[in-house]
Amino acid sequence: MSEDELPSNWGRWGADDELGTLNLITDEVRERASREVRTGRSVSLAVPIQPSPVLSGPFPPRTAEESPVQQLMLYTGNPALAYADAMTVTNHHVLSTHLDALAHIPQDGQVYPGRPASESVTMGGVVHGSTTAFADGIVTRGVLLDFGANGPVPADHTITARDLTAAEERFGVHVESGDALVARFGWVRARYRGNPMPGMTVDAARWMHDRGVSLYAGDLSDAYPPAQPGIPPAMHGVALPRLGMPLIDAVDADELAAVCAELGRYSFLLVAAPPRIHGLTGVPVNPVAIF
């Protein structure tokens, strides 16, 4: 497979587009999503983050566990009439559920949909393809394909287009244009950096393209080591930069899977509304599935 054969949405929504596959979330999609809401029961898809403290007194903790967030308790007067804090957040962290903006990964010096990376990303922030695209929050129908229902997907396994279709049939659901795809590998508690892990094939990314997936959210996405050497990784190398598909990394879909199994349905309203901070390459998010 040559690079030319990789699926792409460059140009599909114009040369200045910043929404990418979020363009697929039309009024019709939203209306379909709305029909998923029947009881109001909701489930978070985010990994909890316990911030590390930054202390200044004489007896700070000796060890702090790695965390995507460093917290600083702030002085607010003496006596303190309020308690307040600031935090330093690493936007792309393996232990943080976060939404990747399209400028996160360049391809051949360009970011989606073909804008020069050097003009899109500056030392002062991101001017094209940033989190500004998520300003209003993402509201669409979500579909869970639970590949980890019978235990974690083996580290040397890949998920292909055929697997995706088979899972649809197994769970009685059909991914339609504008849907968010939630994939569960069963790895949220097993994931370690640098260890081998399974992932999607480029074939699977093409399936998502064909179906019109607007957003991918998974506990894993790309295999490590790379599934297909010489070919860009399916999600961060093809889906994000070429399809313009935002990715939610480090999702915890365990409770979601339990609820879907309990209710016997694998579709829901998905709301992914990160803080409305523009100009970032990514941002922490707490995606919520509503049934």
Site for a copy of itself in 189-248 (CB under 8 A): 192-194, 236
Task: Tell me the residue type at 228.
Answer: Q
User: Judged by CB under 8 A, which stretch of 63-71, 148-156, 166-174, 256-264 contacts a copy of itself?
Assistant: 63-71
Among residues 161 and 240, whose Cβ is nearest to a copy of itself? Answer: 240
Q: How many chain residues are in contact with a copy of itself, going by CB under 8 A?
A: 103
The owner of tokens 């590390």 is 52
The owner of tokens 């990418």 is 20
Q: Taking CB under 8 A as the rule, which mask of x and - marks residues 121-160 in contact with a copy of itself? A: xxxxxx--------xxx-xx--------------------
Pairing of strands 98-100, 247-249: antiparallel
What number of other Cβ atoms are within 10 A of residue 275's Cβ? 11
Q: CA-CA distance, 22 to 32, in Å (whole number)?
A: 15
Shortest Cβ 246–a copy of itself spacing (Å): 14
Tell which positions 255-274 bind a copy of itself, by CB under 8 A.
269, 271, 273-274
Max intra-chain CA distance, the chain? 67
Tell which positions 78-117 bind a copy of itself, by CB under 8 A.
78-94, 96-97, 103-106, 117
Using CB under 8 A, pick the residue from 11, 12, 34, 119 that binds a copy of itself. 34
What number of other Cβ atoms are within 10 A of residue 67's Cβ? 18
Q: CA-CA distance, 71 to 92, in Å (whole number)?
A: 17
Tell which positions 171-190 bind a copy of itself, by CB under 8 A.
none
The owner of tokens 């992932």 is 199
Using CB under 8 A, pick the residue from 1, 64, 166, 258 that binds a copy of itself. 64
Nearest to 241 by CA among 269, 266, 261, 222: 222
Using CB under 8 A, pick the residue from 15, 65, 169, 229 that binds a copy of itself. 65
